[in-house]
Structure 1
Amino acid sequence: MIRPLAGAGIAACLAGALVALVMAAADNGTTLTWLRRLLDSWLIAGSLLTSGWVLLLHRADQGADVSTSLLALARVVTGILVLGLLVALRFCMKHTERTANTVAILALILLSAGDILRILLPAPGNWCGIPLAAACSMTGLSLASVAPWLPGGVGGVGFDQRSMPVSGVVAAFVPLVVCALAISAHAVTGGPVDIVMTALAGSVLLALGARQGVTHADHLRIAQEAVAGEAHYRTLVDGTLDVITTISQDGVVLYVSPAVHPVFGYRPEEVVGARLPLFCHPEDVAPLMQAVQRLQQDAASGTCGPGHRVSCRLRSADGRWRHVESTISHHPEGMIFISRDVSDRVAQQAQLEHLAFHDALTGLPNRALFSDRVAHALRKRITGAAPPVVLFVDLDGFKAVNDSAGHATGDALLTHAARRLQASVRAGDTIARLGGDEFAALLEWEMGTSPSSAREVAARILSALTKPYRIGSADTVVSASIGMAVATPQVTPEELLHQADLAMYAAKAAGKGRIHMHHSQPPPVATPASNR
Structure 2
Amino acid sequence: MPEERESVAAASDRELAQTLDLLSERVARYRVDDLVLVYCNRAWAAEHLAEPDELIGLPMTDLLGPSELEGLHSQLARLGPSTPFLHDPTPRSAPRMVGRWVEWADRYLPGPTGAHILAVGRDVTERRVAEERLAQSEARFRDLADRSADIVWRVSVHPHPHLSYLSPSVERLTGWTPAAFGDRMDHLLEILDPQAREMALQALAGRPLADRFDARVRRADGSWAVLEMQVVRLPDGLQGVARDVTEMRQLQEDLAELALRDPLTGLANRRLLDILLAAALTRAARTSEPLVVTYVDLDDFKGVNDGYGHAAGDAVLIEVARRLEGTVRGADIVARLGGDEFIVVHEAVGDGLAAVGERIRTALAPPYTLPSGDVVTCTASLGESDTRGHLDAPSLFAAADAAMYAAKRARTGRERHTDG
TM-score with structure 1 setting the length: 0.53
Q: 1:454 aligns with which of 347, 353, 356?
A: 356
Aligned residue number for residue 334 of structure 1: 237
| Distance across 1 between alignment mates of 2:154 and 2:54 | 58
What are the equivalent positions in structure 2 for 1:413-432 lying under 5 Å apart? 413-432=316-335
The residue type equivalent to 1:274 in the other structure is: M
| Distance across 2 between alignment mates of 1:503 and 1:307 | 54
| Distance across 1 between alignment mates of 2:194 and 2:263 | 34
Q: 1:241 aligns with which of 149, 152, 159?
A: 149
Higher fraction of strand: 2
Rate the CA distance shift 1:343–1:453 in 2: closer, same or farther, 3 A: same
Higher fraction of helix: 1
Aligned residue number for residue 202 of structure 2: 290
Aligned residue number for residue 417 of structure 2: 518
| Residue 293 of structure 2 corresponds to residue 390 of structure 1 | yes
Q: CA deviation at 1:359?
A: 0.8
Q: Which has the larger radius of gyration?
A: 1
| Distance across 1 between alignment mates of 2:255 and 2:42 | 70
Rate the CA distance shift 1:359–1:178 in 2: closer, same or farther, 3 A: closer
Rate the CA distance shift 1:422–1:173 in 2: closer, same or farther, 3 A: same
Aligned residue number for residue 363 of structure 1: 266
| Distance across 2 between alignment mates of 1:331 and 1:498 | 62
Rate the CA distance shift 1:173–1:248 in 2: closer, same or farther, 3 A: same
Q: 2:191 aligns with which of 237, 255, 279?
A: 279
Rate the CA distance shift 1:265–1:172 in 2: closer, same or farther, 3 A: farther
Q: Deviations over 1:389-412 (max 9, x none)?
A: 111100112122223333232222
Contact in 1 for aligned 2:45/2:55 (Cα 8 Å): no
Contact in 1 for aligned 2:161/2:204 (Cα 8 Å): no
Rate the CA distance shift 1:232–1:247 in 2: closer, same or farther, 3 A: closer
Aligned residue number for residue 5 of structure 2: none
| Residue 373 of structure 2 corresponds to residue 473 of structure 1 | yes
| Residue 197 of structure 2 corresponds to residue 267 of structure 1 | no
Rate the CA distance shift 1:307–1:425 in 2: closer, same or farther, 3 A: closer
| Distance across 2 between alignment mates of 1:360 and 1:310 | 30
The residue type equivalent to 1:481 in the other structure is: S
Aligned residue number for residue 258 of structure 1: 168
Q: CA deviation at 1:481?
A: 0.5
| Distance across 1 between alignment mates of 2:224 and 2:415 | 49
Contact in 2 for aligned 1:413/1:471 (Cα 8 Å): no
Aligned residue number for residue 9 of structure 2: none
Rate the CA distance shift 1:382–1:291 in 2: closer, same or farther, 3 A: farther
| Residue 49 of structure 2 corresponds to residue 175 of structure 1 | no
> Which runs of 5 or more residues in structure 1 are unaligned?
1-78, 88-169, 186-207, 299-305, 522-532
| Distance across 2 between alignment mates of 1:228 and 1:283 | 37
Q: Deviations over 1:110-158 (max 9, x none)?
A: xxxxxxxxxxxxxxxxxxxxxxxxxxxxxxxxxxxxxxxxxxxxxxxxx
What secondary structure sits across from 1:425 in the alignment?
coil
| Distance across 1 between alignment mates of 2:319 and 2:96 | 91
Rate the CA distance shift 1:283–1:184 in 2: closer, same or farther, 3 A: closer
Q: Deviations over 1:201-247 (max 9, x none)?
A: xxxxxxx987445659x999999987775554333112223222222
| Distance across 1 between alignment mates of 2:221 and 2:178 | 16
Aligned residue number for residue 394 of structure 2: 494
| Distance across 2 between alignment mates of 1:427 and 1:184 | 97
> Percentage identity across aligned positions?
31
Q: CA deviation at 1:387?
A: 0.9
Q: CA deviation at 1:291?
A: 4.1
Q: 1:346 aligns with which of 249, 264, 271?
A: 249
Please give the root-mean-square deviation of Cα atoms over the aligned residues, in Å.
3.7
Q: How many residues align?
A: 323
Q: CA deviation at 1:500?
A: 0.9
Rate the CA distance shift 1:251–1:452 in 2: closer, same or farther, 3 A: farther
The residue type equivalent to 2:360 in the other structure is: A
The residue type equivalent to 2:165 in the other structure is: Y
Q: CA deviation at 1:381?
A: 1.7
| Distance across 1 between alignment mates of 2:265 and 2:380 | 18
The residue type equivalent to 1:290 in the other structure is: Q
The residue type equivalent to 1:242 in the other structure is: D
Q: CA deviation at 1:433?
A: 0.6
Contact in 1 for aligned 2:94/2:100 (Cα 8 Å): no
| Distance across 2 between alignment mates of 1:376 and 1:209 | 80
Contact in 1 for aligned 2:382/2:403 (Cα 8 Å): yes
What secondary structure sits across from 1:491 in the alignment?
coil
Q: CA deviation at 1:338?
A: 2.2
Rate the CA distance shift 1:178–1:430 in 2: closer, same or farther, 3 A: closer
Contact in 2 for aligned 1:288/1:312 (Cα 8 Å): no
- Greater RCO structure (CA 8 Å; 6+ sep): 1
Contact in 2 for aligned 1:307/1:329 (Cα 8 Å): no
Rate the CA distance shift 1:338–1:178 in 2: closer, same or farther, 3 A: closer
Contact in 1 for aligned 2:151/2:242 (Cα 8 Å): yes
| Distance across 1 between alignment mates of 2:197 and 2:247 | 22
Aligned residue number for residue 405 of structure 2: 505
Aligned residue number for residue 97 of structure 1: none
